[in-house]
Amino acid sequence: MLHVTSRLRLVVTAQYYNLGLRYILRRYSAVEIEAVASLRIDPLTPYLAPDNPFATRRAAELAERQRQRAPHRSILVRWGIGVITVSGDTATAVTQETWSNQEAGAVAAEQATVRVTYTLRWDARTGRWLIVDTNQMPL
């Protein structure tokens, strides 16, 4: 049986991790707007685990848009976070995001809502969570 102090310590630790996860995901969403406008990965790199398939894929997508000279404007209309699960140094968090996107030359913006499952890894070197992968499902 856990001692009351041990249980309290576990709850406080879980809340600390959840706050850190929420902060990273909110900041990532905010800088995503800058990244798509500038077609550069730089704003996103502080939030991405280096040398992982997601970071490589995201950099390639932005580079391809840059090559095609296809900037677009994105606005995060609504953001909500749901289930957060932490297991050791890995976490998953589910968000529901509504984005308004307007491609260059388009007359009007299109709006889409997606459920995004983020996979993150705790990076002891930086002392924060870094995004390893995402999985989007249109709603």
Local confidence pLDDT in tens for the 139 residues of the chain: 444 444 434 334 445 567 788 999 999 999 999 998 899 999 999 999 988 899 999 999 999 988 988 778 889 999 999 999 999 899 999 999 999 988 877 788 899 999 999 999 999 898 889 999 999 999 9
What's residue 120's pLDDT? 95
What's residue 2's pLDDT? 46
- 128-138 vs 72-87, strand pairing mode: unpaired
What's residue 17's pLDDT? 61
Q: Which of 90, 97, 99, 93 shows the shortest CA–CA distance to 122? A: 90
CATH of 4-138, one of 3.40.630.30, 3.10.450.50, 3.40.50.360, 3.40.30.10: 3.10.450.50
Q: How far lies 115's CA from each of 39, 66, 72, 93, 135, in Å?
A: 24, 27, 21, 10, 8
The domain spans of the chain are 4-138
What's residue 77's pLDDT? 94
Q: Which residue has the tokens 């041990």?
A: 6
Query: Cα–Cα–Cα angle for 7, 8, 9, nearest 5°?
Result: 90
What's residue 10's pLDDT? 39
pTM beyond cutoff 0.85 = no
Distance CA 59, CA 67 (A): 12
What's residue 15's pLDDT? 53
Joined together, the tokens standing for residue 81 give 């976070």
